[in-house]
Structure 1
Amino acid sequence: MSKAAGKLKTLKKTADKITHTTKLRTNIPAGMAAAGPPLGPMLGQRAINIAAFCKDFNTKTSEMKEGVPLPCRITMNSDRSYNLVIHHPPATFLLKQAAGIQRGTMTPGHEVAGMITLKHLYEIAAIKIQDPPNVMLTMKQMCEMLIGIARTCGIKIVRDLDPTEYAKFLEERKVIVEDQRRELQEKREAKMLRTG
């Protein structure tokens, strides 16, 4: 009986060393990590020193444009320290920036929200292929993945873009986006009236 109790004690010691926390995956704006929600509570639940993390993150991202969303992967160690891996901005963000638009289309495949050239696509692929999940991909595979993402955003990929024609297209598009925004707002208000 004492032999079994000794084995149980050894197993308990081993079990105490295992950490059951999951990897935290979140987007944090560059240089803007703050202790408030939503980041603060997520870090607090995992027993990470919030102030130290925010200072560390803001220091690491100080050379980037403030507010750019950065996908982060945070793993916790048993001694309450953490490992922070910061990826490049999301592909959708980079594609919309290249196209000069704020948001994608509401009906993918039916309307064009913006356009980028093949050169833009290749440059974005060169950035995104450096992220840990993409390092095993070939440049061709990365470009194909980005083409799919661009399609869902309503971004058309073209060989050449005339800046004046594209500026005219974006001006016309602003009117459409404003109409869509107004329509969405009306739907929200109608829904609020029904539920209220």
Structure 2
Amino acid sequence: MYLQCVNLFFHLFQRGLNIAAFCKDFNAQTAHYIEGVPLPCRITVKSDRSYELVIHNPPTTYFLKQAAGIQRGAMSPGKEVTGKLTRKHVYEIAKIKQQDPPMQLTPLKEICELVIGTAHSCGIEIMDEIDPQEYGEFLGQRMLVVEEQLKELKEKREAKLLRK
């Protein structure tokens, strides 16, 4: 994975860091991730021009959308269901998120509740079991709904541009 943020380079350069060494370190630490996966990072620059780079796991929404097999969350959460997951999915995502430094001391039950809350805000329904055939049909219907929503958004944007 390659770091592609010009703004970040500017800030690191201002603080006197060696950009090439930073990129090499970042790429080494993120080599096992698939390209395109969002990775929250914390960079602490010390007074001796050294730095501490902490790379967290991807955001919860990324894991939820991947597990549910969807590209985007709900436009109006609570009114539409974008995907479905089982409690086991929630548990596995919570176990991964527990490895992040801010969550290391948080009980797994609380992390599961946070994951469920995030799932609801994305429009993902949590169930005990999911029938794969029914879910495949659901995703097919959902694709049509998403295409329709995207068309509506595009029309609204074009209408705003024409008004100006």
- Structure 1 residues 56 and 160: CA distance shift in structure 2, 3 A: same
- Structure 1 residues 77 and 140: CA distance shift in structure 2, 3 A: same
* Overall identity of the aligned pairs, in %: 59
Amino acid in structure 1 at the alignment position of 2:82: A
Query: Counterpart of 2:3?
Result: 33
In the alignment, structure 1 residue 91 sits paired with structure 2 residue 60 = yes
Query: Counterpart of 1:177?
Result: 146
Give the 5 Å matches for 1:81-160.
81-160=50-129
Gaps of 5+ in 1: 1-30
- Structure 1 residues 192 and 47: CA distance shift in structure 2, 3 A: farther
Amino acid in structure 2 at the alignment position of 1:194: R
- 1-structure distance, mates of 2:162, 2:9: 34
Query: Counterpart of 2:47?
Result: 78
Give the 5 Å matches for 1:38-77.
38-77=7-46
TM-score (norm 1): 0.80
TM-score (norm 2): 0.94
Classify the secondary structure of the residue corresponding to 2:33: coil
Q: Residue 136 of structure 2 is aligned with which of 167, 184, 192?
A: 167
RMSD: 1.3
CA drift at 1:193:
1.3
Classify the secondary structure of the residue corresponding to 1:84: strand
Larger Rg: 1
- Whether the 8 Å contact between 1:32 and 1:67 is mirrored in structure 2 is no
Gaps of 5+ in 2: none
- Whether the 8 Å contact between 1:74 and 1:85 is mirrored in structure 2 is yes
